[in-house]
Amino acid sequence: KMKIGIVGYGKVGQFFVKKIRQQEAIELVFVWNRTKNVFDDADDWLKARVIDNLDDAFTKKVDLIVEVAHPCIVASHGPRFLAHADFMIGSPTALADAALEAELRGIASAGPHGVYIPSGAFWGAVDVEKMADLGTLVGLRVTMRKHPSSLKLVGVLGERLAAVAAVPGQHILFEGPVRELCPLAPNNVNTMAAASLAAHTLGFDRVVGVLACDLSLNEHIVEIDVTGAGSPPFTVSTIKRNPAQVGAVTGDATYGAFWTSLLRCGTRGPGLHSC
């Protein structure tokens, strides 16, 4: 059996635990959450697997640690998680910190464990990664459009959202390097972070992110524009419409995408991999 630890018990973490309980080939070894009251109504089976302190994770024998909590957890515990087991990062905006990305890539390259970045809402992640591997990727632009209530923004971007949140129509909140956007929208642009990691020859500085809000939306729209080598250049453009309840951070279809990503973890050895 694959032995798994889950870090974070929000909506995605709860979805994972429910799915794991239905699997014969996967065993949940531990689950952690910053606030413990989320486990108040849990059954004895789950309560027996709750750890109070994240450091307790390192006393557990697991094959894979899955983070679905917050980018700050990746920053504070990610390198140790990776030294202990394969590591799936559900909050890849954390890797907009260049030093943290370099540290995790270094540990992963040395092995024996690997880092896995779920594609989530990023359609075509493996294909983009292949182009980067071949040196044929020239440009990547990711545009995300959401209802204002689905956005949890900080700093100047939060102020910009507040100014237009009640105004009908589409409003461009940010356009520029994904590295600059991630700290301002850590919960909302994991798709862009996953894109920046797959497009490793461009990275967070050269992948362009566009974040927009629109009151009329009841879905998360992700537009991906890829430019390859050649004259005229190779291009691919996709538009993904992911139904989402108003105010939801994660679109409905993304849960299933995350689950299939988890099932692919642990199969590719050392290194950083899209899955």
Mean pLDDT for the stretch of residues 120-142: 93
What does the block give as tokens for 167?
């105004």
C-alpha to C-alpha distance for 75 and 81, rounded to whole angstroms? 11
Mean pLDDT for the stretch of residues 137-156: 96
Mean pLDDT for the stretch of residues 180-202: 96
Q: Tell me how far CA of residue 199 lies from CA of 72, 167, 273, in angstroms.
A: 23, 35, 11
What does the block give as tokens for 59?
């006393």
* Locus of tokens 């566009």: 210
Burial 114-148 (b: 16+ CB within 10 A, else e): bbbbbbbbbbbbeebbebbeeeebbebbbbbbbbb
User: How many angstroms from the chain centroid is the CA of residue 115?
Assistant: 12
* CB distance 59 to 80 below 8 Å: no
Please tell me the least confidently modeled range out of 18-32, 37-51, 170-184, 247-261. Answer: 247-261
pLDDT at 249: 72
CA dihedral 267, 186, 226, 133 (to 10 degrees): -40
Contacts of 14 (CB under 8 A, 6+ apart): none
pLDDT at 75: 97
Mean pLDDT for the stretch of residues 32-49: 96
Contacts of 161 (CB under 8 A, 6+ apart): 148, 151, 153, 173, 213
Kindly report, residue by residue over 83-113, the tens digit of the pLDDT.
Answer: 999 999 999 999 999 999 999 999 999 999 9
Kindly report, residue by residue over 227-269, the tens digit of the pLDDT.
Answer: 999 999 999 999 999 888 877 777 777 888 899 999 999 889 9
pLDDT at 86: 98
Which amino acid is located at 227 in the chain? T
Mean pLDDT for the stretch of residues 66-84: 97
